[in-house]
Structure 1
Amino acid sequence: MIDRLDNPKDFPGYLIWQAGKDWHRQLDSLLSSFDLTYIQFLVLINLDYLLKQKKYVSQKDIVEIMDEDKNIISQVIRRLELKKFVRRKTDKNDTRSKLVFLTELGDNKIQMTNNLMDLKDRVYLEVKLRDIDSFMDNLKLFIS
């Protein structure tokens, strides 16, 4: 049992939050040389994944797979569109829906960054954790 009078910096939630902030900061720094933020990278790789599953991907599909707020994803996609990494098109069958497509430039960004990000994941986690598989399994227990 955690004594709430102990140092708040020792609470599990605080430590997870701080580790997440540190991780996010490092990835944003790494991706900045590719003109990407971490969330933009995540949208691109999720879009790429979805496009391998089906021909048309909507913004709603990306929101659902990322389990993220629709307004945030919309803003991120808008920025990616300005950078010419994706393009959007109104769905002919539902004019309220926007379909999202990867451009060649966006696909190139994924190819350039994907291996680098995988290496960063492995190095960061393996240096800090001996049993990475157990850590990943335990993290998944917290996600509902």
Structure 2
Amino acid sequence: MKHEPDPDKPENDLGFLLWQITMTWQRQLNRALDEIDLTHTQFAIISSLRSLLKESNTVTQKSIAERSNTDTMMVSKVLRTLEKKGFIERKEHETDTRAKRVFLTSKGIKTFKHAFKITSATNQDFLSKLSDKDKFIQELQNIVRIDKIFNK
């Protein structure tokens, strides 16, 4: 079945379908993460922070935004919320007076581990509806890689 763009049938438009599937997936993740007082966006920022901390002791808001491919101002707002919840801590940067170094607290590490299990199970359930999950994931990874190459 061929899906041609038709303004009267958005369900046949690839962009509309991608938006709908993203919204459905995020809704499921947010519902699942509710039990630990975390949103999917907050989890993504904590996840990016955690991976950066494995590489360097100096992680900034800017490096988190770059790793997570998100807006710096949005990251700033999310970090403020995560700090209020006790998941992260921010300290003065040694050389850049405008920047702060960001760290996970022990509560943040514990929460990340729990959230990782929750999101993994939710993703597994969500993707189980695909006929070839591994091929789909590989194709998504290729799209992300190409985007990063051309949009640096």
Deviations 1:113-133 (A, max 9, x none): 21221121112101x102111
TM-score (norm 2): 0.88
Q: 1:41 to 1:15 in 2, by over 3 A?
A: same
Aligned residues: 143
TM-score (norm 1): 0.93
Correspondence 1:104 to 2:115: no
Quick one: distance in 2 between partners of 1:64 and 1:117? 22
Q: 1:5: how far off?
A: 4.7
How do 1:1-144 residues align onto structure 2 when only pairs under 5 Å count? 2-5=4-7, 7-126=9-128, 128-143=129-144, 144=147
Residues 78-124 of structure 1 show CA distances to partners (whole Å, capped at 9, x for unaligned) of 00001010011121200111110000110110111212211211121
Contact 2:33 2:118 (C-alpha < 8 Å) held by counterparts: no
Deviation at 1:24, TM superposition (A): 0.5
**Mapped contact 2:28–2:122 kept (Cα < 8 A):** no
Report the Cα distance in structure 1 between the residues aligned to 2:23 and 2:5, rounded to whole angstroms. Answer: 25
CA distance in 1 between partners of 2:99 and 2:54 (Å): 20
- Per-residue CA deviations over 1:17-65 (Å, capped at 9, x if unaligned) read 0000000011111111101000101111111111111112111110000
Aligned partner of residue 88 in structure 1, secondary structure = strand
Cα shift at 1:74: 0.4
Q: CA deviation at 1:141?
A: 4.1
Matches of 2:113 and 2:104, distance apart in 1: 12
Mapped partners of 1:78, 1:69: distance in 2: 14
Greater displacement, 29-38 / 110-119: 110-119
Question: Could you say what secondary structure the match of 1:100 adopts?
Answer: strand
Distance 1:3 1:74 in 2: 38
Aligned-partner residue type, residue 36 of structure 1: L
Instruction: Please list every run of 5 or more consecutive structure 1 residues that lacks an aligned counterpart in the other structure.
Output: none
Identity %: 36
